[in-house]
Amino acid sequence: MKDGATRDGYGACLEEIGADPRIVVLDAGVSDSTRSKKFGDKYPERFFNMGISEGDMVCTAAGLATTGKVAFATGFACFLLGRTMDQTLVSVAYSNTNVKLVGTHAGLAVGEDGPTAQMIVDLAYTRAMPNMTVIQPADYEEAVQATRALVDHVGPVYLRLGRPKVKGIYDSSYKFQIGKGNVVKQGQDVVIFATGGMVQESLEAMKLLEGDNIHPTLVNISTIKPIDSQLIIEQAQKHGAVITAEDHNVIGGLGDAVLEVLSDNNILVPVKRIGVKDTFAETGSQEELYAKYGLSSEHIQSAVISLAGK
């Protein structure tokens, strides 16, 4: 298991798979931070630094995809989607082009960069787009495997990556599959469905819960769309109480996706959603923001305790 940010796993994998001549990588002038520079340094003839012009980047990626290229269009999540809604909707999703949109520095975890850089609505944006697959890996290894999987996956994808370093959860024996969740730790009473860095936050909460003699199950939902409905149904019925955890607005993200599965299948269980409560945050460290806006391991601990007796 390797510690590291998911953006680091993305950059390492791009360098690894770059020998494939179909792959092209585009970046919006932040390639050092997004880690796409690793590909650019090794394969400069297939790397395009588009500068602060995300709309042009997305359309160029779509054009390259129509020639048979596998196009990775990379930028900070807040700008990649915030500035390209029309281009993403029409040139990528509607046109069903083979473009992989890769948004890094997502959520409140971006910390001191401030509220205009804290992209907390991107899962809602992309989940609502027909043809779009939405993926958020939980650690370095899963980011590597998810990036590799996108090469052979035909169609539009949004890959959501984080800025901070997280502890390794998986080793090379793990096999990532698009559309499949993974039981990280089996427990009882309550099931936590988490995504991205909140998988690590949930693991920290589970350590705290040992003192309360409560041992929930933790499930990593790394593919937000198409979501692993079968696994969600099985785990919800088995445990009888559900918590969702995401660094995103509670509207439109993982929590709503899980609730949709439960509602569509007539499964009535208590549910608590951990996420940003439909508000803009402030500037601060990840730890400060998670504590103030209800995303910390202590908040997950409290949510589990409140449901454990139900």
Within this chain, do residues 106 and 236 fall inside the same structural domain, yes or no? no
Within this chain, do residues 303 and 212 fall inside the same structural domain, yes or no? yes
Phi first, then psi, for residue 243 (nearest 5°) are -125, 135
Task: Give the mean pLDDT of 117-138.
Answer: 97
Task: Give the mean pLDDT of 129-139.
Answer: 98
Residue 113 confidence (pLDDT): 87
Q: Is residue 1 very low, low, confident or very high in pLDDT (cuts 50, 70, 90)? A: confident
CATH number at residue 68: 3.40.50.970
pLDDT exceeds 80 at position 8 = yes
Q: How far is CA 2 from the centre of its chain?
A: 18
Residue 308 confidence (pLDDT): 87
Within this chain, do residues 141 and 83 fall inside the same structural domain, yes or no? yes
Phi first, then psi, for residue 212 (nearest 5°) are -95, 5
pLDDT exceeds 80 at position 223 = yes
Could you please report the per-residue DSSP string of the chain? Answer: ---B-HHHHHHHHHHHHTTSTTEEEEESS-HHHHSTHHHHHH-GGGEEE--S-HHHHHHHHHHHHTTT-EEEEEEEHHHHTTT-HHHIIIIIIITT--EEEEEESBSGGGGGG-GGG-B-SHHHHHHTSTT-EEE--SSHHHHHHHHHHHHH--S-EEEE--SS-B-----TT----TT--EEEE--SS-EEEE-TTHHHHHHHHHHHHHTTT---EEEE--EEES--HHHHHHHHHHHS-EEEEEEEESSSSHHHHHHHHHHHTT----EEEEEE-SS---S--HHHHHHHHT-SHHHHHHHHHHHHT-
Are the C-beta atoms of residues 136 and 196 closer than 8 Å to each other?
yes
List the one residue out of 141, 162, 104, 101 whose CA is nearest residue 13.
141
pLDDT exceeds 80 at position 110 = yes
What CA–CA distance (Å, rounded) separates 156 from 175? Answer: 22
CATH number at residue 186: 3.40.50.920
pLDDT exceeds 90 at position 81 = yes
Bin 141: left if φ > 0, else alpha if -120 < ψ < 50, else beta: alpha
Within this chain, do residues 156 and 251 fall inside the same structural domain, yes or no? no
pLDDT exceeds 80 at position 89 = yes
Q: Round the average pLDDT of the chain to a whole number and report it.
A: 96
For this structure, is 142 an active site residue?
no
What CA–CA distance (Å, rounded) separates 166 from 22? Answer: 31
Write down which residue in 160, 192, 221 finishes a domain: 160
Write down which residue in 160, 191, 214 finishes a domain: 160
Within this chain, do residues 45 and 105 fall inside the same structural domain, yes or no? yes
What CA–CA distance (Å, rounded) separates 181 from 194? Answer: 10
Within this chain, do residues 128 and 201 fall inside the same structural domain, yes or no? no
pLDDT exceeds 90 at position 272 = yes
Q: How far is CA 67 from the centre of its chain?
A: 28
Structural domain range at position 244: 182-308
pLDDT exceeds 70 at position 310 = no
What CA–CA distance (Å, rounded) separates 96 from 154? Answer: 9
Strand 47-49 and strand 23-27: the pairing is parallel
Are the C-beta atoms of residues 6 and 142 closer than 8 Å to each other?
yes
Q: Which residue among the candidates 16, 45, 54, 246 is catalytic per the annotation?
A: 54
The answer to the question of residue 174 being in a domain is no
The answer to the question of residue 166 being in a domain is no
List the one residue out of 2, 5, 43 whose CA is nearest residue 169.
2
What CA–CA distance (Å, rounded) separates 194 from 198? Answer: 6
Within this chain, do residues 152 and 25 fall inside the same structural domain, yes or no? yes
pTM reported for the whole predicted model: 0.96
The answer to the question of residue 176 being in a domain is no
Domains: count for the chain? 2
